[in-house]
Structure 1
Amino acid sequence: MSSAHSAHLGRVLCIITGASKGFGRTVAKEMSGLVKPGSVLVLAARSEDDLRSLQAELTELEAGRAGLRVESVVADMAQMEGIENVVRSSEEAFSEHIDHLILVNNAASLGDVSRSVKTFTDMAEVDSYLSLNVSSSMCLTARVLQSFPQRPGLRRTIVNVTSLCALQPFRSWVLYCTGKAAREMMFRVLAEEEPDLRVLNYSPGPLDTAMQMEARTRTGDDGIRKSFVDMFDQGQLLTCEASCAKLMKLLLEDNYTSGAHIDVYDV
């Protein structure tokens, strides 16, 4: 990585899904300090209370006082209505002064990690998981690209928050591994199809979040569960802030290969 990079991301319209907590919330806060006045953050999540508190927090920051606009959209990303609400709010917030569109596909769920592959016989259960974790990110990305097509003076960056589980099988984690692998391949294809786009599959590492707590308590495979418990006990989990700083570094330097999988430990 080059040490020379821009000090800011430009006058940005940034859409962040799963923005109300955890890594998504941290991305919103870090992003607010790296954009020029006149930028817009469109924050999407299911929790209205958490979104409103984040919106208020960002508005009170220096960036907010300097003209950062923050829009919150209460949306279930597994439903087309939720996706359309996010796109509509983004279209309304866009102005000709925006020079950088960033979409952060962060919304995701762990799924049932207590069971093996052979127990998943209910197609509706599997479809429901894939709808939130795969279909929604594809449809949202497609709608955003349609609404904000390539034009002179507009950079477009698509970030997919991925995982080691996109590359490596974890016993009893079939839903999560399948969803992450499918989603990452989707964005690799996008990078091939749209050479003007900047596409990044960023793996934030083992984060100290509610999802990790769920992994330590609900993972069905004893060995996998123990590895998560040991990681926690040995203080090896990363803070969202530490991982997000690496993501911001990648976006500022902007010299990654489009479509690449980049792990937090590689930055």
Structure 2
Amino acid sequence: MEVIDLGKALCVITGASRGFGYCLALHLSTLLKSGSILVLIARSEGKLRELQAEIRSSGVTEETLKIKNVAADLGKKEGVQEVVRVLTETETSSFNHMLLINNAASLGDISKFVVNLTDLEEVDQYFSFNFSSALCLTASLLKHFGKRSGLKRTVVNISSLCALKPFKSWSLYCSSKAARNMLFQVLAEEDPDIRVLNYAPGPLDTEMQVAARSQSGDPELRETYARLHESGQLISCSQSTSKLVHLLLKDQFKSGCHIDFYDV
């Protein structure tokens, strides 16, 4: 039976300042019980303040939900450390749910084919933001929220079809998404007490899609995304958010599995 809320939770969303993360924060803010804390993480402090103001304008009060904005660059060690500091300073004993949504990601330089990726620093920086930060943040939060009676722990990885299928000129993005999928599958195997989901939101109508149809090195890929846009087949963030929320509330997925927007 599907529940109607996510409990009294510490809910953490990375990449919350725009697109899917922004929409998800708005939706989840209405599903957290009184006394919950919503932690919003992104590079832009200004965008996070705009999001917080929009959440408040919807009627969600400070008494009902505390919101913490953390402006940090997850591609840098200092950024990850700052997020971990904020989270581990949070009193956890009163919560019955810890929900972490690893949404932050970037396409990288999608104009380059594999043979052009010769700059080790460029590749390292990409994976620091798109893979290593998600690993270290998840591990740190799970250590802080150890297993205890009455506490549910849920970790969501915002995945992609690219985790399963190769896309020409998208080697960095495909590789990082595949690595993240496997990371969270391993987590699910290591600790059956943690609910783990790899959710692919589908081709979203976001800034990332604009880049996909204008900057992809592979002309076929540019044409494919241009056709999706022109034919109105891109998915709105609100549509995809609703499906993810449905999965979280129903809570019947196999831990560690990969579920696509079109599977729900």
Report the TM-score range of the alignment, normalised by the length of the smaller protein. Answer: over 0.9
Instruction: Specify which of 140, 144, 148 is matched with residue 147 of structure 1.
Output: 144
Q: Is 2:132 the partner of 1:118?
A: no
Shift of 1:195: 0.7
How many angstroms apart in 1 are the aligned matches of 2:39 and 2:144? 15
How many angstroms apart in 1 are the aligned matches of 2:132 and 2:180? 8
Q: Is 2:255 the partner of 1:242?
A: no
Instruction: Specify which of 2, 9, 12 is matched with residue 12 of structure 1.
Output: 9
How many angstroms apart in 1 are the aligned matches of 2:111 and 2:167? 12
* Structure 1 contact 59–69 (Cα < 8 Å) conserved: no
CA offset digits 1:88-133 (Å, max 9, x no partner):
2223343422110000000000011111101111111111111100
CA offset digits 1:55-74 (Å, max 9, x no partner):
12223332325511100000
Instruction: Specify which of 165, 174, 178 is matched with residue 177 of structure 1.
Output: 174
- 1:64 alignment partner, SS class: coil
Match of 1:264 in 2: 261
* Structure 1 contact 13–94 (Cα < 8 Å) conserved: no
Instruction: Specify which of 224, 228, 232 is matched with residue 227 of structure 1.
Output: 224
TM (norm. structure 2) is: 0.97
- 2:69 alignment partner, SS class: strand
* Structure 1 contact 58–70 (Cα < 8 Å) conserved: no
Which amino acid in structure 2 is aligned with residue 204 of structure 1? P
* Structure 1 contact 40–93 (Cα < 8 Å) conserved: no
**Number of equivalenced pairs:** 264
How many angstroms apart in 2 are the aligned matches of 1:128 and 1:84? 16
How many angstroms apart in 2 are the aligned matches of 1:65 and 1:72? 14
Equivalence map 1:48-63=2 (5 Å):
48-63=45-60
* Structure 1 contact 202–263 (Cα < 8 Å) conserved: yes
Match of 1:77 in 2: 74
How many angstroms apart in 2 are the aligned matches of 1:51 and 1:259? 30
Match of 1:67 in 2: 64
How many angstroms apart in 2 are the aligned matches of 1:79 and 1:141? 16
What stretches of structure 2 of length at least 5 have no aligned partner? none
CA offset digits 1:185-220 (Å, max 9, x no partner):
110001100110000000000000000000010011
Stretches of 4+ moved more than 4 A in 1? Answer: none
TM (norm. structure 1) is: 0.96
Match of 1:104 in 2: 101
When the two chains are superposed, the root-mean-square deviation of aligned CA atoms in Å is 1.1
Match of 2:214 in 1: 217
Q: Is 2:250 the partner of 1:253?
A: yes
- 1:63 alignment partner, SS class: coil
